[in-house]
Structure 1
Amino acid sequence: MPNEEQQPAEQKREETLLESIASIASVLAVGLFVMTFIFQNFEIPSASMVKTLLIGDHVLVDRVTLAPQSKWMPLVHYRQPHRGDVFVFLKPGWPDLFLVKRLVGLPGDKIHLRNGILYVNGVQQNESYISKPGDRDENGNIREYQEFRDDFPMYPPPSFYSSEDVPGVWREDLPSHIQGEDLVVPPGKVFAMGDNRLDSLDSRFWGFVPMDNIVGRPMFVYWSFETPADQINKQTVGDRIGFAAHVILHFFDETRWKRTLHLVK
């Protein structure tokens, strides 16, 4: 009979406090790396991509696929942006402002709109997801045709577009890219528009997107919450705290559960 007081030959060694801290730090470091260089969450603040993306959609963005290829990560799959990609990018001239639009023009493409319909290299595009003149808004009113927005390119922009709508730099640069009835996308840049063409300030109004400004592509909606259209304009601390409290109180009844894991395409 073995001695009851005899200790097992091998005992499970308890983890020290220092080892526990090191394990937690490793997990946090890996998580931070993944969320910084591979994936990023992004909230849709405006209606420029309705119906594809709604105000209050929270999407997971793939930061790798469309990023410029890096020698230090040779096994990661990269590809060039494609026409039709929904993508996230830094607005030209605004180093801290992220936007999400659809890529409609690649370098060398000739594009124009007629009555809101997009033509690329002379071919009418089949875009069932866009809004266009003649559609009805959420109140049932018919959306009317508007120059420059729906017939593009047009130079100069109509006088009712202020310098805030169409900045002076783009006003000066725009005519140099017009050939006949088309706008020609220059090398190293792309042309982006929102799917909600009637309510989207996009490349029509501020110009081309440099390839280097592309951050990634939204993959799917991981959470969607009913958010007022004017919430983007409420930037005070009180407004933010008030909306955070509203989210907590109405998380279950104002979450759009059917949009969970909705693929972005």
Structure 2
Amino acid sequence: MMMEEEVKVEVETAAPQPQPQAAPAAPAAPREPVSTVLADTVQFLASTIVIAIFVIVFLAQAFQIPSESMEETLLVGDYLLVDKVHYGEGGLWGKILPYDSVRRGDIIVFKWPIKPGNHFVKRVIGLPGDRLRMLRGRVFVNGQPLNEPYADFRARNHDFYRDDFPNVRYRSQQVSDAWWDEFPGFIRNGELVVPTGHYFVLGDNRDQSLDSRYWGFVPRENIVGKPFLIYLSLEPPAPEAMAARTNDKMERFGYVLVNLTGLARWNRMMRVVP
């Protein structure tokens, strides 16, 4: 009897223990409705557009160089970004943002006084109160010759109106009627005096620029901003290549796009405007 009890005890002791139950699998995450994804995408695009509009309206603007008047500093086909708040004035924003005053030598983009819908880019030569004159193309400001390493003189002939302004001997055909009547009133002792709130501008390509010599001063309120970056630069297509195209802008754009590699001036892209 004693032996049977001992065996029974051993059997009961060696019995297998119950295995723990596996945890139930987590439920799959609910799939986001297509309408929610679409709404998020639309919201992102709308926000991007709003930011782009804000930048264009208030901070920066793109501008293309259409003529040779600023060569060699800026070339035809250069695309610029213009800082529109660089010359902001007064008020609360004037204490927060790093505004600057217009300085002699600055390159500016401005609304052409004759047709404000057109934008020009030139270099500031005369500030309010400055006395200016030119002698055989050399600029004098307040009686002192102006150092202009950027100026480019290409014409071989001497033009009395262009090179000796304001002491001109005849009227150039390119001078506006209003300026021809007005500018003698700003001359004092053979020098042109820049009035308050206005600026006198010239192109760096001094012999091929229609500037303040031909149409007058730039009012302060016409200044749009200061260009700071050449973000794209394209060699102008050959005239015969463009003449073969129609007046359709999309066709012309397609031609430039296809020939982008050959037209791109890579060494000028992303260059800071001096």
TM over 0.5: yes
Matched, 1:115 2:127: no
Partners of 1:169 and 1:118 lie apart in 2 by 24
User: 2:80 is aligned with what amino acid?
Assistant: V
Q: Does 1:195 align with 2:204?
A: yes
Structure 2 residue 50 is matched with structure 1 residue 29: yes
From the two aligned structures, give the one with the greater helix fraction: 2
Q: Match of 1:79?
A: 100
Residue in 2 aligned with 1:151?
164
Seen in structure 2, the aligned counterparts of structure 1 residues 124 and 167 have a Cα distance that, compared at 3 Å, is: same
Q: 1:229-248 to 2 correspondence within 5 Å? A: 238=247, 240-248=249-257
Letter in 1 for 2:161: F
C-alpha separation in 1, matches of 2:28 and 2:94: 50
Q: Which residue of structure 2 aligns with residue 126 of structure 1?
A: 147
| Greater CA drift, 64-73 or 251-260 | 64-73
Is 1:42 the counterpart of 2:63 in the alignment? yes
1:208 corresponds in structure 2 to 217
1:22 aligns to what SS in structure 2?
helix
For residue 68 of structure 1, report the CA deviation from its aligned partner: 3.5
Alignment of 1:39-78 (within 5 A): 39-69=60-90, 71=92, 74-78=95-99
Structure 1 residue ranges without an equivalent (≥5): 136-141
Contact 1:191/1:208 (CA < 8 Å) preserved in 2?
Answer: yes
Over the residues paired in the alignment, what is the CA RMSD in angstroms? 2.6
* Contact 1:106–1:190 (Cα < 8 Å) also in 2: yes
Indicate yes or no: 2:206 matched with 1:179. Answer: no
SS at match of 1:3: coil
The answer to whether the 8 A contact 1:67-1:214 is kept is no
**For 1:33, what is the secondary structure of its paired residue?**
helix
Q: Please list the CA deviations of residues 61-107 of structure 1 after superposition, one character each: whole Å capped at 9, or x if unmatched.
A: 11111133454675222111011000000010312100000000000
Secondary structure at 1:4's aligned position in 2?
Answer: coil
* Alignment check: 8 A CA contact 1:55 1:229 kept: no
Change beyond 3 A, Cα 1:249–1:109: same
Q: Does the 8 A contact of 2:88 with 2:94 survive in 1?
A: no
Residue aligning to 2:7:
none
In 2: Cα distance, 1:143 partner to 1:254 partner? 31
Q: Which amino acid aligns with 1:108?
A: G
Provide the C-alpha distance between the structure 2 equivalents of 1:228 and 1:207, rounded to a whole number of angstroms. 33
Deviations 1:170-190 (A, max 9, x none): 111111100112100000000
Secondary structure at 2:69 match in 1: coil
With the length of structure 2 as denominator, give the TM-score of the two structures.
Answer: 0.83
TM-score normalised per structure 1 = 0.85
User: Residues 106, 45 of structure 1: CA spacing in aligned structure 2 closer, same or farther, 3 A cutoff?
Assistant: same
Q: Percent identity?
A: 37
Change (3 A) 1:16 1:31: same
Q: Gapped runs of 5+ residues in structure 2? A: 1-21
What number of residue pairs does the alignment pair up? 249
Q: Which has the larger radius of gyration?
A: 2
